[in-house]
Amino acid sequence: MSHAADERLILDADGVRRALRRIAREIVESCGGVDRMAIVGIHTGGVHLARRLAELIAQDEGRRPDEGMLDITLYRDDVLIGLPQPVVGRTEMPFDVTGQRVVLVDDVLFTGRTVRAALDAVIDYGRPAWIRLAVLADRGMRELPIQADFVGLRVSSVAGESVKVELTEEGAPEDRVVLRRPGGAR
Buried b (16+ CB within 10 A) or exposed e, 16-30: beebbbebbebbbee
Tell me: the pLDDT tens digits for 104-143?
Answer: 999 999 999 999 999 999 999 999 999 999 999 999 999 9
Strand ranges inside the chain, DSSP E: 7-11, 37-42, 66-70, 101-109, 130-138, 150-154, 162-166, 176-180
pLDDT category of residue 102 using cuts at 50, 70 and 90: very high
* Weakest-pLDDT range from 28-37, 84-93, 145-154: 84-93
Options 3.40.50.300, 3.90.550.10, 3.40.50.2020, 3.30.9.10; CATH for 3-80+89-180 is: 3.40.50.2020
- pLDDT (mean) for 76-86: 62
**% pLDDT > 90, the chain:** 79
Is 186 or 141 the better-scoring residue by pLDDT?
141
Q: Amino acid identity of 149?
A: D
**CA atoms of 33 and 121, how far apart (whole Å):** 25
Strand partners for 154: 138
pLDDT at res. 73: 82
Residue 83 pLDDT exceeds 60: no
Q: What is the mean pLDDT of the chain?
A: 91
pLDDT at res. 159: 87
DSSP of 125-156? T---SEEEEEEEEE----SSS---SEEEEE--
What letter does residue 102 receive in the DSSP assignment?
E
pLDDT category of residue 28 using cuts at 50, 70 and 90: very high
Strand ranges inside 82-139, DSSP E: 101-109, 130-138
CB 179 within 8 A of CB 140: no
Residue 69 pLDDT exceeds 80: yes
**% pLDDT > 70, the chain:** 89
Q: Where are the domains of the chain?
A: 3-80+89-180
